[in-house]
Structures are given as structure tokens and as C-alpha cells.
Structure 1
Amino acid sequence: MGRSRTGSGPAEDLLIELDRDAGVPLHRQIEASIRTSIRAGRLRAGASLPPTRTLASGLGVSRGVVVEAYQQLVAEGYLASRSGGYTQVAASMPPAAAGADPAQATAPGPGFKVDFGYGRTDVSQFPRAAWLRSVRSVLTTTPNDRFAYLDGRGVPELRQALCDYLNRVRGTLAVPGNVVVCNGYAQGISLLIQVLAARGVERIAMEDPSSADDARVLAVDAGLDVTGIPVGPDGVRTDALDRADADALILTPSHQWPTGGVLPAAARAEVIRWARRRGAIVIEDDYDAEYRYDRSPVGAMQGLAPDHVVYCGTASKTLAPGLRLGWMVLPAHLVADVAAAKLLADRGSPVIDQLTFADFLGRGEFDRHLRRMRPVYRRRRDVLLGALRTRLPELRPAGIAAGQHVVAWLPPDLDEAAVVAAAARHGLGVQGVGPYRIAAAGPGGLIFGYAILGESAITEGVALLATAIREVRSS
């Protein structure tokens, strides 16, 4: 037990129990204990924590262990460093009911003890205090005319802020006049398919496997043919493009979903050459490129051919899907039609939300949030990979260098559907790759979404999977 120094509040005892036989690093145990106390309200906002030397002495650990724990909690926004060497609980923290302790499992899916379902961002980490500052700024400084009806592209402030960010971070060639703000990627792809169908597009190609289920349904409803392009280890197979005879192509080139491949420079150039030969449109779904761990940044394809590539981005994976904020950077000849379709759909996305995000981007808060979340997600990924190596070494993880999921290929003797069903019987939710295939055959694989799971839940989930696989093999 350590005793804190007084800062802005009275001294408080800091109860931390360490289990040296648990197999969990001591700094992680310290992090989890402090984090839980903050989330539960036992450590109030502004309370000072013990100096690192004092706490280390009380716990019988080296000072470096405590320093590492404090630094991680500062990065996550739970603690704040003050001049004079004080460390305090951050002044503004979400209420305890807003989300679970990141070190623990969040609510699993129906009937599951652990759910590796993909597509869920850890919304308990939403930067409420920073977002609130931007809301206040918008409400006090925005001219009155911004709250009237605007054109279908979105507010100028957000379109400019998005261009500044995307050109700097993703290597796009975006100009504000070619940006259309939409209610997430789902609405964006819907508007785009409507416009392409009206312009005479007859066939749209998609990666196989891919996550383009919404786009597939929308395309069929619009009367378009849908064809799949096989995916290799590095993304879409460009040698199959001409055979597809398509007028548009949906790609996830920076982190193929679900296999995780990164489309190499030569393949990107071939896609662009194909689009120019065909007069086709490439729709670049850049869904999670901000989260990378073991690789250098990969620029967006839009920067190579802004006249043929539609860049689609969203805040769903980086901030929260409930914001319903997305954007498209369009070739100039598509802007007017897509903006008109947006106006017809809903008269424009909420102005206050757009202006708030513009302020949030301009203040650098978005960059700070991403810097804070990368180590959180990386740590969860590392725990998942370590558990798979230990319990299920015959599975082959892929696509691990970025994103919020891992795909693991099954050995030939394991049937994907049988493993998924056995896992469900043992209380584990995990998806197979099979349902995301259009036509191409391929090996069985499992998709592990880890963004909302704590380390203990990830370890438990892999243990449940190991039990399920033993059951499949024994039967």
C-alpha cells in the first residue's frame, strides 16, 4: 500500500494488490488497479497519486515498474502529469457507467462469455472532455448562418479540416470542393451506388472475401451485377481485373478486410492503369488505416489518381460509430450528383456535429486521441497473438500489423463452420471467413475482433477456442 502526497486534494491511501504468481506483468496489474479505482469513483478527479518512488517502495517493486504504469495511464487519459512531479487523476473523466474498465471484458454478445465479433470500437474511450470543449466552442463562436440549410457537400469548415488532415496523414490530393460529408460509410456507399447506376454503370467488382455486404445488397437493389475479385496474401489479385469486366471496384487497399493484406505499390499502379483503360471508378474504403503497429504508414490510393478514385473515410473505427460521421473525396465530375443525392436523402448531416468535428480536428485532438489509443489496441493485439501462439500454434495469424482485428487461418483438418459452431457451444463468439466470400474458394479462417476486449477476456476466449477445437477433432 502506498500513501499519496497532497496536491489539489487531501492525501488518500492507494490500495494496490499484486499477485506475483498470476503471470501478468506487475506494471499491468498496477495499471489495472488504478484504472479500476478511477472508473469506480474510488479515486476522484484531481486526486494526487503517490510519487513513483514512494509507491514503488510500498509495493516492493522497482521504480521503473511504477513509472511504466503511470505513463500508460497518462497516455490513456486517466492520469495527468503536473509540474513539480505530481501525478493526478485527470480532471475530466467519463462517469463509471459510460463504459467498462479497459482491462476487463466489455459486455459479450448474446449468450457468449467472450465475443470476438468484429466492427466494434471501444466507445468507453471516447474523448468526452475534448469533444465537449469543441461543442462549447462551436456553440459560442459559430455564425448564425451556419445553422441554416447548406448545400449537400457539408459545412465548409469540416471539408477544409478533413482536407488538411487527409492530405497530411493519408497522402490524399483532396480539395474542399470535392468533399461530401455523409452519415458514415454506409450512407456514402449508398449515395455513390445510386449515382453510378444512374450514370450507366452495369457491373461493380468487390474483393473476395470482403466486408462489402451492404454494398453488395445496395448494388443488387440498384440493378447492378456484382462480381468478386480473388484476394491473395497482399490484397486483390490485379491479374483478375480485366476478366471481371466491371465499371467500378470497391477496395480496402491499406488493410484488406478481412485478410489484412496491404496492396503493394506495383499492384496499386496496375489498378490505376486498369481504371484509366476502362474509364472505371475505384472506391477506396480506408476504414482503419490510422491504427498501425508494426509497419510504416501506407498512403491512400486517391493521391495517385484523384480523377478515378473515390476516397471513403469514417469516424466509426477511430472515435465512435454512433457519431455517424463519414466523408468522401470524389472526382470532380461526381461531386454535383453525389451532393444532390445527399440533399435528397436527408437535407444534410447535422451541422453542430460537423462543426464540432472540424474544431476537434483543427485543435489536434483527433491526432492526440489516436496516439492514445494505438498502444491500447496494440497491447490487446499482442495478448491475442501470445495466447494463440501458446494455446493454438497450428493457427496461422495474418494481417496483424494494423487495424482492430486478426484473421487466423485454420489447418486443413479443421472445418471452419464446425469450429465456429463448437465455439458457440462453449460460450465463445467468433466469425469465420467463409460468410464473407462471394465466389472464390479458400482456406478456412477465423476473424478475431479485439478492440473492445480486455486482456483477461482475450486470454479466456482463446482458451475456450482451444477447448472447442479439441472437441471438433475428437468428434
Structure 2
Amino acid sequence: MAISQTNFAWATLLEIGSPEPGRPHRLRDHLVRALRTAIRDGRLTEGAAVPPSRALAEELGCSRWAVTEAYGQLIAEGYLTARVGSATRVSWSPDTTPPYPRAHPAPAPPPVRYDLAPGLPDLRAFPRRRWADAVRAVTGSAVHYDLGLPDPAGHPGVRTTVAQYLRRSRGADARAETVTVCAGVTDGLLRTCRALRAEGIADLAVEHPGWGRLRDAATSAGLRPHPVPVDHDGLRVDDLVRTPARAVIVGAAHQFPTGTVLSPARRARLVRWARDVNGYVIEDDYDAEFRYDHHPVAVMQGMDPRRVFLLGSVSKTLSPALGLGWLVAPAALTQALAAANPVAAAPPVLDQLALATFIDRGWYDAHLRAARRRFRTRRDLLIRTLGAQLPEARAAGTAAGLHILLHLPDDTDTHATVRAAATAGLRLADLDDYRVQHSADRALVLGYGNITDPEIPPAVALLRGALATRTPKAERPA
């Protein structure tokens, strides 16, 4: 249908335009866009009457239906208003808040050339083909009732697979009925904290330094976090005893960010503490699958499954994009856990089934074996390179996980170093970012998961350049 754009002021005002080549001409959509743009631009002011649908249709040489449909759409969006016996009028102006606010994009950060920040595995090594095979397998084999409303605690078959995996690989005391499939460690902690709050526990001890999102999760669930220091043997239980907490979250196998391992004596004492205060230990099994000097340490949860929750995920082994994790709860609290999280939702069932297939077919174990070899080599290379290029710095942390601590001279301004490195395209993390309050210990948390071996020497060279711009601590602003 031909449309005149010159025989009436409205046609020119609306700038209806022509259809794109090779695509059907949908006049209604053109009218909606044209009217909406004219209102947003202020060419049609608030309170102005738009032409009757019959009149505008005649002027445009189109059907009245197209105009009435366009008006109806804009009335639904809040741009026009219609009253019986009165003209349809513009009900919005650029001076008021638009029905759909315009986005103001934040300035783009400098491009990252090298990533030495912690928190990510080797995303380049994600097993795409195997994962695609697992997704295809479950999509073709899932029975009809698998596609219905999901169990909030996770698919029963997936919970069985996860329980079996945790028993054989992590030494956990896990059964399908005590496993909850969740969206990751933070989701699992939120669920746990809500259940503990319902049980009358209001105070939770957290490691210091530690991952801030865990503190935030506890606070959002209604618990009061109490920082407890960490030393070379892990969480200091003597300091824990002096808090009002009846629950504590701890990274026993590989604490983040210090990289320490909770000593056997403190593990035993921590379990005794939980019994003495009628409380609980929440074990964050953070990147525990990666230990390079000997086999991974078994989980604390197996020492007393009645007092220890276990949190884990595939975020550090496969990818955080999958959003898959697990929570193993004391059997006596499984009903309380469900009751305290009535609107919690499990991850998509097909994704859960894909993970179970990935584990059952041995692909997960094979992936972990290859990843351990790769990360062991990369960690050694990073430490050697740091020693050669930054002899004044000292690397620390157990031979495990995906990060190390780099202790720097006392006069180092780590904040300025991180900013200078970012400008040069190097992503770093300051240990102070994981503290409740700043410390005299100047250190960076260097991750080596999401960087390739050939990238390590130039990345360390950029770090050396960023450190050369540091200002003495005495000159840093308070």
C-alpha cells in the first residue's frame, strides 16, 4: 500500500518512512514507532489531540484498522489517553518520567589484556563439546514428567548423582535426601542462613579477610556477621569462642583469599565448638578440587554431618555461567531448610540433568584431572616469573586452588597499583578489598585461572610497571 508523506502535515510530522527491502511492510508498527518518537521528541506535546483514526487513515491512504491498532498500543504504553466522547490525547511529555526510562550506559572500562584477578577458572578450557553432548543427551532422553514444575530442592536423580560424587571424591556424608541443588555457593548460603534464622540463630561468624559476598548474603538473610581473624592455620577458633555466634562459615580446604588450609587440630576443635554451643559450621568447599602437593583434603562435613553444612559449585571447576551448585544439610534440618525458603527455585532441570550426565559419564573427573595438571604448571610458572621480575615481593599460599597472595613492600600503595595496572590492561585485586578494615600488610590477590601460560610473563611485566608508579604509604591520602 502506497503511503503519502507530503499531502498532510501529520504524514510529514510522523516520518513514517518506507519498509526495509525484502521485509513485509507492517504499517501498524511504523505508525507506533513514528508516534512514539514524535511524543518523546516533544513534537507532539502533552495534552495535544491526535487526529481521529478515520481522518488519519484517509490522509495516509491506509486502513482505519492500522491507525486504531497503533493508537491502542500507545494507550497501553501510557503515551496516549482516550476518554469516551473526547479526543485521544498525548498523555506524556519529555519533562516527565518516561514509561520506559532511557538507559544511561556507564563509561566502558579499559579493555582487559591480561586477567590476574581471582575468581574464575580457565574459561578457554571449558569442555564445550562434552557439555553439548550432555545437553543433547538429556534433551532427547528426559521423560515428560522431568519437564514439569521442578522440585525446589533439585531433580531427585541429580541429587543422587551429586551425593555419590561428594561421597567418593570429597569424603562427604551425603545422601540424596540431604542434598539441595542450588544456583551456587551464595544461593546455598542464603538458604542456609534463612534456615538458621528460623531456628533462632541470629549471629554468624565469618572469616577475616574473606569474600564480601558471603557477609552480604548473611546480612540479607537477617544474620549479624562477626569477623574472625585467619592465620597460617586457618580460622582462629579462640577468637570465634569470644563472639556471640552460634554458626560460622569457613573455607577449610583452601581459604579465600589467604590460601591457608584449616589445620587438623582446628578442624576438630571447630566441630567440638559447634556441639558445645548447639550451633553449626557452614563449610564453603571453595576450589577444593585443586590441590597440587597431594590429594585434596576431605571435607569437614564428614566429621559430623549433624553439625556441618557443605556448600559447593562448579563455578571454579567449569564456569560460573552455568549457575549450578549444591548444599548438603544436616538431615534434621532438611525440612526447616525447605520451610525457610518457600519461594527458592532450583536451577533449570535440563541444566541439572546435563550436569548429572557429565558426572555419570566420567567427563567431570577427566576434566578435573586435566585442569589440575594445567593449573599446577601455571601456578609454578607464575611464581617463578614473579621471583625473577619482582624479587622484592613474596608469594604465599598453599599449593592449591586458583590464586596466590603476593606480599609487597610496606611502602606500596596497592590501591594505586591496581588502578595503574587497570589503565595498562591488567586486572588485579587488592587484599584490602576482602577486609572489613585496612591492614598494614600490603598484598595483592593474584588469580591464575583465567590467563594462559604465554600471557604470564607480559602480565607480570605490566605488574612490575604498575608497582613502579606506587606512592609511599605515608603519602597516600587518609
TM above 0.5 = yes
Q: 1:109·1:429 contact (CA, 8 Å) conserved in 2?
A: no
Q: Deviations over 1:257-299 (max 9, x none)?
A: 0111011111100100111111111111102111121233201
- CA–CA distance in structure 2, aligned partners of residues 144 and 114 of structure 1: 46
Q: 2:194·2:341 contact (CA, 8 Å) conserved in 1?
A: no
Q: Percentage identity across aligned positions? A: 41
Aligned to 2:311: 312
- Aligned CA-pair RMSD: 2.1
Aligned to 2:193: 193
Aligned to 2:39: none
Note the 1:98-247 alignment, pairs <5 A. 110-211=110-211, 213-247=212-246
Q: 2:386·2:460 contact (CA, 8 Å) conserved in 1?
A: yes
- CA–CA distance in structure 2, aligned partners of residues 466 and 442 of structure 1: 21
Note the 1:288-307 alignment, pairs <5 A. 288-307=287-306
Structure index of larger Rg: 2
- CA–CA distance in structure 2, aligned partners of residues 151 and 128 of structure 1: 27
Larger mean CA deviation between 142-151 and 264-273 belongs to 142-151
- CA–CA distance in structure 2, aligned partners of residues 429 and 323 of structure 1: 23
Aligned to 2:256: 257
TM-score (norm 2): 0.72
Q: How far is the alpha carbon of 1:194 from its aligned partner?
A: 1.8
Q: Deviations over 1:310-349 (max 9, x none)?
A: 1001011111111110100100122123234555133x32
Q: 2:416·2:471 contact (CA, 8 Å) conserved in 1?
A: no
**SS in structure 2 at match of 1:460:** helix
- CA–CA distance in structure 2, aligned partners of residues 442 and 263 of structure 1: 24
CA shift in 2, pair 1:429/1:130, >3 Å: closer
Q: How far is the alpha carbon of 1:148 from its aligned partner?
A: 2.1
Q: 1:230·1:440 contact (CA, 8 Å) conserved in 2?
A: no
Q: 1:109·1:115 contact (CA, 8 Å) conserved in 2?
A: no
Gaps of 5+ in 1: 1-107
Gaps of 5+ in 2: 1-107
- CA–CA distance in structure 1, aligned partners of residues 203 and 172 of structure 2: 27
Q: 2:428 aligns with which of 414, 427, 430?
A: 430
CA shift in 2, pair 1:315/1:343, >3 Å: farther
AA aligned opposite 2:247: A
Aligned to 2:442: 444
Q: How far is the alpha carbon of 1:236 from its aligned partner?
A: 0.9
AA aligned opposite 1:449: G
AA aligned opposite 2:444: L
TM-score (norm 1): 0.73
Larger mean CA deviation between 172-181 and 132-141 belongs to 132-141
Aligned to 1:349: 347
Does 1:386 pair with 2:393? Answer: no
Q: 2:115·2:450 contact (CA, 8 Å) conserved in 1?
A: no
AA aligned opposite 1:287: Y
Larger mean CA deviation between 118-127 and 174-183 belongs to 118-127
Aligned to 2:367: 369
AA aligned opposite 1:430: L
Number of residues of Structure 1 aligned to a counterpart in Structure 2 = 366
Aligned to 1:405: 403
CA shift in 2, pair 1:284/1:306, >3 Å: same
Larger mean CA deviation between 456-465 and 401-410 belongs to 456-465
Larger mean CA deviation between 432-441 and 266-275 belongs to 432-441
Note the 1:57-76 alignment, pairs <5 A. none
Q: 1:316·1:323 contact (CA, 8 Å) conserved in 2?
A: yes
Q: How far is the alpha carbon of 1:150 from its aligned partner?
A: 4.2
- CA–CA distance in structure 2, aligned partners of residues 175 and 263 of structure 1: 25
Q: Deviations over 1:328-373 (max 9, x none)?
A: 0100122123234555133x32111111111111111100111122
- CA–CA distance in structure 2, aligned partners of residues 222 and 320 of structure 1: 26
